[in-house]
Amino acid sequence: VPLPFSGKVAVVTGAAGNIGLAVATRLASQGADLALLDVDAAKLEQARATLLEHDVRINIYTCDVTNDEQVRQTVETVVAELGQIDFLFNNAGYQGAFAPIQDYPAADFARVMQINVCGAFHVLRHVARHMVARKSGGIVNTASMAGVQGPPNMAAYGASKFAIIGLTEVAAKDLAPYNIRVNAISPAFMGPGVMWERQVELQAKAGSQYFSTDPKEVAQQMIGSIPMRRYGNINEIPGVVTFLFSDDSSYMTGVNLPISGG
Ligand code: NAD
């Protein structure tokens, strides 16, 4: 029996990170050839090493998504080396600082926007050009529940993820005539991992009325706000992404699916 994504090529950005690698692993296990992009060359090489058991092509590309020209060249190289791009998991991101808006560092705000918004736009537009020519493709952008309801102390991150949901809706309209579907996923609290530890610690440090100043208590407060009373596991994400790439979601475009425990 052929695997569901045999013969397909998927581009994954932020592929050396937690969610990117989890999705890349699932795509490989379903037969897709992979183009893995990340700014961190060493982590990217490690990520590739964990995927070698899968009988698919895995090419890695060190690429800074904030650099539009570098993204253009990388996408061109991917098409030259792997032949086509069927799926894009547009996922590279940075959480930014934690501070109330009146103290939020402007340079960090700009950096979050550069990576999360401009970076996602650069990748989306260059991959879309290729997909438009083929009149086919599937795109999933990683937003966040921080892009649905603004969390305290996360001005840049919250604004950037609202922007991703907007970008998803616009791109879905622009690309619908070309048989390209564009959707978003919105994870909320995922753990364990760097992002979880970092946000628990930094929300405690930010010292607002919303969270305790003790990281352990912050963790409990966050978990207590989730109807399912637990944080999500990274492995609860890939199946949602592959669903959005698959024909099972063939009439869905421009939607944002929360992965949030309620
Ligand atoms: P992560 O830090 O493990 O992975 C992010 C990856 O993006 C890293 O490998 C990093 O090197 C890469 N990256 C950063 N800047 C880049 C750039 N300029 N160019 C190319 N690559 C770059 O974090 P993660 O949890 O895997 O996050 C993936 C996505 O999921 C992000 O968009 C994040 O905002 C989103 N998200 C995560 C959570 C969570 O709790 N983990 C929740 C909601 C949304």
Mean pLDDT over 229-239 rounds to 97
Distance 198 CA to ligand 1 centre (A): 13
Q: Residue 103 is encoded by which pair of tokens? A: 């103290």
The string of pLDDT tens digits covering residues 92-116 is: 999 999 999 999 999 999 999 999 9
pLDDT at 169 over 90: yes
The string of pLDDT tens digits covering residues 114-160 is: 999 999 999 999 999 999 999 999 999 999 999 999 999 999 999 99
Q: Does domain 9-189+234-259 have CATH number 3.40.50.720?
A: yes
- What's the CA gap between 60 and 41, in Å, rounded? 9
The predicted pLDDT at position 192 comes to 84
Please tell me if the CB atom of residue 97 comes closer than 6 angstroms to any atom of ligand 1. Answer: no
**210 catalytic residue (yes or no):** no
The string of pLDDT tens digits covering residues 176-200 is: 999 999 999 999 999 888 889 999 9
Residue ranges covered by each domain of the chain: 9-189+234-259
Please tell me if the CB atom of residue 232 comes closer than 6 angstroms to any atom of ligand 1. Answer: no
Ligand 1: which residue has its CA nearest to atom 2? 17
Q: How many CB atoms lie within 10 A of CB 230?
A: 10
* 86, 138 contact by CB (below 8 A): yes
- Set 104, 157, 178, 231: catalytic member: 157
Mean pLDDT over 218-223 rounds to 96
Percentage of residues in the chain with pLDDT exceeding 70?
100
**What is each CA distance from 220 to 39, 166, 185, 207, 233, in whole angstroms?**
33, 32, 25, 16, 16
The predicted pLDDT at position 193 comes to 82
Enter the ipTM: 0.99
Please tell me if the CB atom of residue 29 comes closer than 6 angstroms to any atom of ligand 1. Answer: no
Residues in the chain: 262
